[in-house]
């Protein structure tokens, strides 16, 4: 198919979903002031090409840059493909991801290449007096530096601090065999020559007294959240490809290779850091490395849920049962952490247990919260833990707790429990328009107010297409055997006619999520039968 034909197909798709909306009496794209899908798509093409000649951040080896920069481009490509069905965007995704895979390396010698960064690692120091005559000491005796800039000033070294004369001190770097300071020192002054740390002597030493100071530089680490951010769009590509004959013929080898990479290089490695909890709950934790800020602690919600989104998608295309098992356990932990506030939900950035005591941080922020919400949307759509009632509560979190109520000057609060602030992130949160179409209007108005940022365009276009198109349906594989067959039909028939007001209602069989198991669900089931 030529590029021109592909463009015409994409335009026809947008027109078709608009016609369907018109026939159903809903607001169409043509009725939305200033909304021009073709112009927005063209704007995104220009935006995409403008960064590194269209390569984005894909050549950067740092997992931090890949996660918090490049992953948004990969996700945008998936959204653009879903909206236009133009394989240009899948080609871009493959091109970018192949470069990223080539940059994976085995930094820790465990035999498994990965993406890593030292950006968030801590530096450390330890000091001791060396059998001195006096009682002076270096303070602090131990320290961990979390400030990113200061931590990266530290080096791996062993220093000796010595008072050699009345007001003359020498600092030697034994690791490099050189004197790094020779001069006076006053109490209260930071000891010169030791980068990355502010160390002091607590009193005047005796002449000849020596002190050893050991410092450790930052170390590269692998992060589950980075892998989750990078791989969520890749998991969607795998699912799209393996569930479509035409795409499978073109991209099948790539999709299977990517799936194998995730199974062998990510799932297996992260299992070392799994924490099993009671009542079918679980989450991943930080590694035990001394370079971690919180070694061995359970991850914040957004960090394990980022990887959880990947597992939710892959459970439907992989024979690896751990994807489904872990996804459900993470969903259960997050669901258990939600607090009902009126008709909405509020939750913390982080819930953990330490020394036998549960504890939590402050309220989740809007930026990281988009990952939490996107996980819940994905889980609901795949029949994992979350219900329609949960999704309505998430929607009301946005409309009742975070939005200032204005469409002329819309603002979203900086945390999930308040209107204070002016958060400008659209992705993730806009997915809640499935349960309250006003949410799309809110974010369209916000998108316009903040200057129509390029990376948000695919999310605006895709969610509009979802609203204008036929209702989305959930999986009809009710028994989880990865096929829709007669057993599923028997289960469906038992629930036909039930509604959310009846005791027999089970929303797994409400495929279109309208609160009843009716004819529309039967049509959806029939369309899926045999898959």
Each residue of 135-175: pLDDT tens digit?
A: 999 999 999 999 999 999 999 999 999 999 999 999 999 99
- H helical segments located in 388-482: 388-396, 438-449, 457-468
CB atoms inside a 10 Å sphere around CB 175: 13
- Mean pLDDT within 177-193: 98
Q: What is the pLDDT of residues 97-111, one digit of tens each?
A: 999 999 999 999 999
In 3-state terms, what secondary structure has residue 106? coil
Model-level pTM? Answer: 0.87
b/e string for 193-214 if b means 16 or more Cβ within 10 A?
bbebbebebeeebeeebbbebb
d(Cα 353, Cα 213) in Å, to the nearest integer? 34
Q: What is the pLDDT of residues 294-340, one digit of tens each?
A: 999 999 999 999 999 999 999 999 999 999 999 999 999 999 999 99
**Two structure tokens written together for 118:** 């030292």
In 3-state terms, what secondary structure has residue 384? coil
- Mean pLDDT within 380-402: 97
**What average pLDDT is seen over the chain?**
92
- 121 pLDDT higher than 70: yes
* Range from 59-73, 135-149, 314-328, 514-528 carrying the lowest mean pLDDT: 514-528
Per-domain boundaries in the chain: 3-115+222-468, 123-216, 486-528
What are the phi and psi torsion angles at 242 (to 5°)? -75, -10
C-alpha distances in angstroms, 262 versus 258, 280, 321, 435? 6, 24, 14, 32
- 483 pLDDT higher than 70: yes
pLDDT of residue 512: 78
pLDDT of residue 486: 81
30 or 90, which is more confident?
90
**Two structure tokens written together for 56:** 């984005």
- 462 pLDDT higher than 60: yes
- 499 pLDDT higher than 90: no
What length does the chain have? 531
Examine residue 47 and say whether the peptide bond preceding it is cis (omega within 30 degrees of 0): no
Question: CATH fold of 3-115+222-468, please?
Answer: Glycosyltransferase (1.50.10)
Q: What is the pLDDT of residues 3-45, one digit of tens each?
A: 444 344 344 444 444 434 443 344 555 568 889 999 999 999 9
355 or 241, which is more confident?
241
- Mean pLDDT within 201-215: 98
């Amino acid at each position: 198919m030529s590029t021109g034909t592909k463009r015409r197909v994409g335009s026809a798709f947008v027109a078709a979903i608009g016609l369907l909306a018109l026939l159903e009496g809903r607001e169409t794209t043509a009725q939305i002031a200033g909304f021009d899908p073709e112009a927005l798509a063209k704007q995104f093409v220009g935006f995409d090409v403008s960064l590194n000649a269209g390569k984005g951040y894909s050549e950067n080896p740092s997992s931090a840059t890949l996660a918090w920069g490049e992953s948004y481009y990969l996700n945008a490509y998936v959204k653009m493909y879903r909206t236009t069905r133009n394989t240009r965007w899948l080609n871009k995704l493959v091109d970018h991801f192949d470069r990223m895979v080539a940059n994976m390396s085995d930094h820790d010698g465990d035999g498994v290449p990965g993406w890593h960064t030292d950006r968030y690692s801590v530096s450390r120091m330890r000091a001791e007096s060396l059998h001195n005559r006096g009682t002076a000491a270096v303070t602090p005796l131990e320290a961990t530096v979390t400030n990113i800039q200061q931590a990266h000033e530290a080096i791996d070294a062993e220093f000796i601090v010595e008072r050699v004369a009345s007001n003359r001190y020498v600092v030697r770097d034994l690791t490099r065999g050189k004197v790094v300071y020779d001069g006076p020192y006053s109490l209260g002054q930071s000891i010169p020559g030791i980068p990355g740390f502010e160390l002091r002597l607590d009193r005047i030493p005796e002449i000849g007294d020596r002190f050893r100071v050991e410092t450790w530089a930052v170390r590269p680490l692998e992060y589950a959240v980075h892998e989750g951010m990078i791989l969520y769009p890749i998991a969607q590509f795998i699912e799209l490809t393996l569930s479509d004959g035409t795409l499978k013929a073109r991209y099948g080898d790539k999709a299977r290779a990517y799936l194998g990479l995730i199974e062998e290089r990510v799932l297996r490695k992260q299992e070392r850091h799994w924490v099993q909890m009671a009542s079918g709950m679980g989450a991943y934790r930080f590694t035990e490395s001394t370079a971690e800020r919180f070694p061995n602690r359970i991850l914040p919600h957004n960090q394990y849920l980022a990887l959880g989104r990947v597992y939710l998608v892959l459970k439907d295309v992989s024979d690896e049962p751990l994807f489904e098992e872990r996804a459900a356990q993470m969903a259960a932990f997050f669901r258990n952490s939600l607090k009902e506030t009126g008709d909405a939900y509020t939750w913390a950035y982080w819930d953990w247990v330490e020394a036998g005591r549960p504890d939590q941080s402050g309220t989740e922020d809007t930026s990281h919260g988009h990952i939490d919400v996107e996980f819940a949307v994905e889980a609901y759509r795949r029949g994992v833990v979350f219900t329609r009632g949960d999704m309505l509560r998430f929607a009301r979190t946005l409309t009742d707790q975070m939005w200032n109520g204005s469409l002329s000057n819309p603002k979203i609060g900086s945390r999930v429990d308040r209107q204070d602030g002016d958060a400008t992130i659209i992705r993730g949160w806009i997915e809640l328009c499935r349960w309250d179409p006003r949410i799309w209007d809110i974010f369209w108005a916000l998108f316009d107010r903040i200057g129509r940022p390029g990376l948000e365009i695919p999310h605006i276009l895709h969610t509009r297409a979802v609203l204008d198109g036929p209702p989305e349906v959930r999986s009809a594989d009710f028994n989880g055997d990865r096929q829709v067959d007669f057993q599923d039909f028997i289960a469906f028939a038992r629930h036909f006619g039930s509604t959310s007001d009846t005791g027999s209602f089970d929303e797994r069989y409400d495929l279109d999520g309208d609160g009843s198991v009716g004819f529309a669900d039967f049509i959806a089931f029939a369309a899926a039968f045999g898959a």
